[in-house]
Amino acid sequence: MNLLFIGDIVGKGGRRAVQSLVPDLRKEFNCSFCIANGENSAGGGGINAKCIDDIFPDFVDVITMGDHIWDQKEFENEIERYSAVIRPANLSKRQPGKGYGVFRNPGGGDLAVINLLGKVFMKESAYCPFEKVDEILNSIPKTIKTIIVDIHAEATSEKAAMAHYLDGKVTAVLGTHTHVQTADAKILPGGTAFISDVGMVGSEASVLGRTIESVINKFVTGMPKRLPVNDHETRLDAVVISYDMTTGRANSITNISRMIEGD
Q: What is the pLDDT of residue 60?
A: 98
Q: Is the whole-model pTM more than 0.85?
A: yes
Q: What is the pLDDT of residue 262?
A: 67
* pLDDT tens by residue, the chain, 263 residues: 999 999 999 999 999 999 999 999 999 999 999 999 999 999 999 999 999 999 999 999 999 999 999 999 999 999 999 999 999 999 999 999 999 999 999 999 999 999 999 999 987 789 999 999 999 999 999 999 999 999 999 999 999 999 999 999 999 999 999 999 999 999 999 999 999 999 999 999 999 999 999 999 999 999 998 899 999 999 999 999 999 999 999 999 999 999 997 66
Bridge pairing between strands 186-187 and 172-176: unpaired
Q: What is the pLDDT of residue 243?
A: 98
Radius of gyration (C-alpha) of the chain in whole angstroms: 17
- Alpha-carbon separation of residue 161 from 46, 155, 176, 215 (angstroms): 27, 10, 14, 31
Quickly list H helices, 72-179: 75-78, 129-139, 156-166
Helix (H, G, I), strand (E, B) or coil at 148: strand
Q: What is the pLDDT of residue 263?
A: 67
Q: What is the Cα–Cα distance from 62 to 60, expressed in whole angstroms?
A: 6
Q: Are 36 and 176 in contact (CB under 8 A)?
A: no
Residue 248 neighbours by CB under 8 Å, 6+ apart: 145, 146, 147, 170, 171, 191
**Residue range(s) defining the domain that contains residue 31:** 2-259
Q: Tell me, what CATH number does 121's domain have?
A: 3.60.21.10
Q: Catalytic residue positions?
A: 68
Q: What is the Cα–Cα distance from 11 to 135, expressed in whole angstroms?
A: 33
- Alpha-carbon separation of residue 111 from 38, 75, 123, 177, 245 (angstroms): 19, 26, 28, 23, 9
The number of domains in the chain is 1
